[in-house]
Structure 1
Amino acid sequence: MSAKKEGDGGWKSFIWNSEKKEFLGRTGGSWLKIFSFYVIFYGCLAGIFIGTIQAMLLTLSNYKPTYQDRVAPPGLSHSPRPEKAELSFSMAEESSYSAYVKNIEDFLKAYDKDKQNDEIKFEDCGDTPQDYKDRGELESSEGIRKVCRFHRELLKECSGQTDESYGFKDGKPCLIVKLNRIVFFRPRAPASNDSIPEAVRPNFQNNLIPIHCSSKREEEADKLGPIDYFGIGTGFPLQYYPYYGKLLQPQYLQPLVAIKFHNITKNMDMRIECKVYGQNIDYNEKDRSQGRFDIKITIKS
């Protein structure tokens, strides 16, 4: 019995030793010192962390990424954008291309006229390619900037206004192409005709980033058929640039180009490459979306 009492007294005295005035083996002064140490230690760590974050935030802009060295401008993308960049459908089966049609329609809804009526946010910038639309500096007190209207009617046969199937029903599919947005990027038009394909030269205009599509394989060039380009000119007009970002241009609509393939040979895999041309537009084999895109189109009769 005495041993049990001594054992009970052992753990009880460890929790609170009334003779030495110790709690869990430490006096009040010892607990105060260790508590003060950790408060100061973790307070300093928190101060260093907060100070580092605040210093970093001072180098950042609310309107433009401070560092864009890993962004290779610009990317070229299209709608519809099927998996594995393969567009395959049958003219006789609506279900085989209905998803493509819906994808284009959903994308073009933002370009409806009734969504661009606000005169405070939108303005007409002409229906021919023009020079950049300068709307001031990013870091200024001007606030929200206007944007140029781009009506889907400019895409003509690929606007969905006259052909709700966007050419898929007739085996003449449309692709809606855009240059991806990069804040304050100014694409520069080709310096001369020598820097663009010969097929583009007859229709080339100043203040325009031209686009051209061709067969990926030279031996299949005669199987691609004629191609039409709809929009403002045969490319991307400069008056829609630069883009000022979501804070200053939340309603921004980048210009589009519709590409219509009129007579792709049926029942074969046609590999097509589309590229844009400009002085500051490059291409990279590791990034197939930089300044271009590849797509395989298979039309089943």
Structure 2
Amino acid sequence: MGWQLSDLTSAVYDSKRREFLGRDGAKWLKLSTFYCFYYIGSVGFFCTMVAILMAITPHDRPRYSGEESRMETRSNPLSPGLGFRPQPTTKNDSSLVFVNNNTNDYQSDPYIQNLDQYLKIYYWNNNHSAEVNKFTINNPGSCTPNNQYGFSNGTPCILVKMNKIVDFVPSLGYHLEDKDAYEAAGCQPGPDAIAVHCYGEYPIDVDNIGGNITYISEKNRDHKCGSLERKWFPYTGKQQRRNVYQAPYVWVQFNNPKPNVLINVICRVYAENIIFDKKKGQGSTRFQIYVKDLSHYWNNNHSAEENKFTINNPGSCTPNNQYGFSNGTPCILVKMNKIVDFEPRPGHKLEDKDAYEAAGCQPGPDAIAVHCYGEYPIDVDNIGGNITYISEANRDHKCGSLETKWFPYTGKQQRRNVYQAPYVWVQFNNPKPNVLINVICRVYAENIIFDKKKGQGSTRFQIYVKDLTRHKLSKQNQKI
């Protein structure tokens, strides 16, 4: 052991030769000098290369822009997309624009705040450069901060702009593949402008928009298309970012969106050198609008010609009582889906006779019955058998009723005038807490077929009443 330790000591420092780790002082000095100059030279060479690169690289734009841009390939032509505001920061990057028509606190609305923040660059007094071109829409109508950008009255203004690409100048006209869509839109953007057009993504969205859109552009207002003047292009890079480049935009105001439904909207720009690709987002943008407005059920004064559906005595099924949710007796609104020119006939189908009589429905001489029940025996027990049906004409514990005078639904005209579909409040007075209850509601009429699998003549939902107080009491009783 002593012999091994002495060998290790000699390997580290040899006192006879005066060497440390196999080298004497002179050798260590030469090695240190070599590596010192080697690393100084390497660092100097690296800094020189960086300095040369920075010297030959443009500071205000990419080296390759316009037609030479590396963004353009044979399979992916250079084509800018569109952007929209408001677009508040969210965790899931949602493209939803939510319009709450049941509040007066618009100052804290994140969508309005986002528009205010974005428009600061347009209204900010920039004195750093006299060469800055300021984009201005002189007559924005109700699309202003003082009018909450139309959000306060359910006619939201959406700001639509073209994304920036250095040295890209849109060409007048439209792409050859877009001829039919351009002519169908009826766009007339002007002699030196390109067109912007928005529409519902699906047929139901087209109907829900109501066909009433106002485009507020720099020079005009139109109900068919907006316009972006070509004088604001091209975007020339960092210099304009430093001077706060004001991208041209169009206000797209939805004057009569259908409330309480999600509306998918596509906005696209037409130019000869812009390709439309919905999947890649080229030449377009996509967003959703949801206008929350329950007022048309309570106080709708939009049209004197409308028949106003009203339940005069809804009990606790009102906003002030949180629709019964605050005390564990939830009110569920049940209505019949709209089919144009369909008119239900009072009575029931022959195969529904036993179920109809078992329910004990008596809807009235000119009404059809609505009845809800537990889907499975355990659900029947959990409901507790205590349901109140609050209809237009009466209150009942067996069935609700829908008056046939509200039918038929006649289509788009009624959607524009806010068609008020008749409904029944179904209040569950004693649902068992802390269990999931499966419920089926069905309607009885002579010409309505019941098919649970296909959802014909019925709807299905679940109720879960969370009540931890009862859960704790039951545990204490079990311990006792």
Q: Report the TM range for the smaller structure's normalisation.
A: 0.7 to 0.9
Q: Which moved more, 1:219-228 or 1:172-181?
A: 219-228
Cα drift, residue 171 of structure 1: 0.9
Cα drift, residue 297 of structure 1: 1.0
Structure 1 distance, partners of 2:171, 2:203, is 29
Equivalent residue for 2:149?
166
Structure 1 distance, partners of 2:27, 2:15, is 16
Against the structure 1 CA distance between its residues 283 and 263, is the aligned structure 2 distance closer, same or farther, given a 3 Å change threshold? same
Equivalent residue for 1:190?
173
Greater C-alpha Rg: 2
Cα drift, residue 107 of structure 1: 1.5
Structure 2 distance, partners of 1:102, 1:255, is 20
Structure 1 distance, partners of 2:278, 2:40, is 50
Deviations, residues 40-74 of structure 1 (Å, cap 9, x unaligned): 55455445544543454354211210143237442
Equivalent residue for 1:142?
none
Q: 2:118 aligns with which of 107, 117, 137?
A: 107
TM superposition outliers: structure 1 runs of 4+ over 6 Å? none
Higher RCO structure, 1 or 2 (CA under 8 Å, sep 6+) = 1
- Taking the TM superposition and a 5 Å limit, the aligned residue runs for 1:134-283 are 146-151=131-136, 153-161=138-146, 163=147, 165-190=148-173, 194=179, 197-198=182-183, 200-201=185-186, 203-225=188-210, 226-233=212-219, 234-248=226-240, 250-283=243-276
Against the structure 1 CA distance between its residues 263 and 223, is the aligned structure 2 distance closer, same or farther, given a 3 Å change threshold? same
Equivalent residue for 2:410?
none
Secondary structure of the equivalent of 1:184? coil
Cα drift, residue 200 of structure 1: 4.4
Q: Which moved more, 1:96-105 or 1:262-271?
A: 96-105
Instruction: Give the count of matched residue pairs.
Output: 269
- Cα RMSD (Å) of the superposition? 3.2
Cα drift, residue 271 of structure 1: 0.8
Structure 2 distance, partners of 1:221, 1:191, is 23
Cα drift, residue 95 of structure 1: 5.2
Cα drift, residue 167 of structure 1: 1.0
Structure 1 distance, partners of 2:273, 2:195, is 13
Equivalent residue for 1:27?
24
Secondary structure of the equivalent of 2:94? helix
Structure 1 distance, partners of 2:49, 2:100, is 59
Conserved? CA contact 1:108–1:152, under 8 Å? no
Q: Which moved more, 1:18-27 or 1:46-55?
A: 46-55
Structure 1 distance, partners of 2:273, 2:180, is 12
Against the structure 1 CA distance between its residues 224 and 191, is the aligned structure 2 distance closer, same or farther, given a 3 Å change threshold? closer
One-letter amino acid matched to 1:279: E
Question: Once the two structures are aligned, what percentage of the paired residues are identical?
Answer: 27
**Structure 2 unmatched runs, 5+:** 73-77, 220-225, 294-480
Equivalent residue for 1:140?
none
Structure 2 distance, partners of 1:221, 1:65, is 41
Equivalent residue for 1:74?
80
Deviations, residues 194-251 of structure 1 (Å, cap 9, x unaligned): 4762354453212112100001013442321211111214221111122222335523
Structure 2 distance, partners of 1:151, 1:204, is 17
Conserved? CA contact 2:171–2:272, under 8 Å? yes
Structure 2 distance, partners of 1:200, 1:93, is 35
Conserved? CA contact 2:129–2:243, under 8 Å? no
Conserved? CA contact 1:188–1:278, under 8 Å? yes
Against the structure 1 CA distance between its residues 199 and 172, is the aligned structure 2 distance closer, same or farther, given a 3 Å change threshold? farther
Structure 2 distance, partners of 1:254, 1:30, is 67
Conserved? CA contact 2:157–2:251, under 8 Å? yes
Cα drift, residue 153 of structure 1: 3.9
Structure 1 distance, partners of 2:79, 2:289, is 26
Cα drift, residue 256 of structure 1: 1.7
Deviations, residues 75-96 of structure 1 (Å, cap 9, x unaligned): 3111111542112333112458
**Structure 1 unmatched runs, 5+:** 123-145
Secondary structure of the equivalent of 2:57? coil
Q: Do structure 1's residue 121 and structure 2's residue 141 form an aligned pair?
A: no
Conserved? CA contact 2:264–2:287, under 8 Å? yes
Against the structure 1 CA distance between its residues 252 and 89, is the aligned structure 2 distance closer, same or farther, given a 3 Å change threshold? closer
One-letter amino acid matched to 1:237: E
Secondary structure of the equivalent of 2:141? helix
Equivalent residue for 1:133?
none
Q: Normalising by the residue count of structure 2, what TM-score does the alignment of the two structures yield? A: 0.49
Structure 1 distance, partners of 2:218, 2:184, is 18
Against the structure 1 CA distance between its residues 284 and 241, is the aligned structure 2 distance closer, same or farther, given a 3 Å change threshold? same
Structure 1 distance, partners of 2:260, 2:205, is 13
Q: 2:62 aligns with which of 56, 60, 65?
A: 65
